[in-house]
A = this chain, B = another copy of it.
Amino acid sequence: MNPSGAKLVVANRAGQADIETRLTEGDHQALRLWLRLLACTNLIEGSVRERLKSEFAITLPRFDLMAQLQRSPAGLSMGELSQRLMVTGGNVTGIVAALEAEGLIVREPDLGDRRISRVRLTDAGKTSFERMAKVHEEWIVGLFVGLSAVEQADLSELLGQLKAHASKMRN
């Protein structure tokens, strides 16, 4: 199978034909694949960022931070929270302060070590996040609808293999 049978003119963050469509067909398979993976991620992430901004006046780092807190109802330390973030570009301390000022999260001393702060969503924060998360998921479903359920499963499995091997390779 020739994976590059058609040179798709597809987008980097600004809609220009990106580097992975301009490399030579047949050569450099892994490099082209990496650039395609990066381009896909950029495209979807960019779409989500734009929509979070226009629908909810919220940044993706902030949404990501609230998502991590929603997954850990008992709360997280600032260190744990930072480690779990999936997107770059956020100032964790600043976002936490802003969310606290808005009553969406609360900081409490850790029960075991009162020098450590644990951060968790308030009820208002949970409600706010759940509303946004529902809409966010609809966007994601829409962005992936070009792939059938079977294709999504295949893609997930291939990415899972990629992750498993690539994680082992990291020092």
Contact = CB atoms under 8 A, between A and B. Distances in A.
B157 A161 contact: no
Contacts of A29: 149, 152-153, 156
Main secondary structure of the interface of A (DSSP, over half): helix
Contacts of A111: none
Given A41-B38, A44-B37, A143 B158 contact: no
Interface in A118-171: 137, 140-147, 149-167, 169-171
B41 A141 contact: no
Given A30-B140, A141-B30, A153-B3, A40 B147 contact: no
Nearest to A9: B167
A84 B89 CA distance: 19
- Which 8 pairs show the lowest CB-CB distances between chains A and B? A146-B165, A3-B156, A14-B83, A3-B153, A30-B144, A41-B41, A10-B163, A155-B158
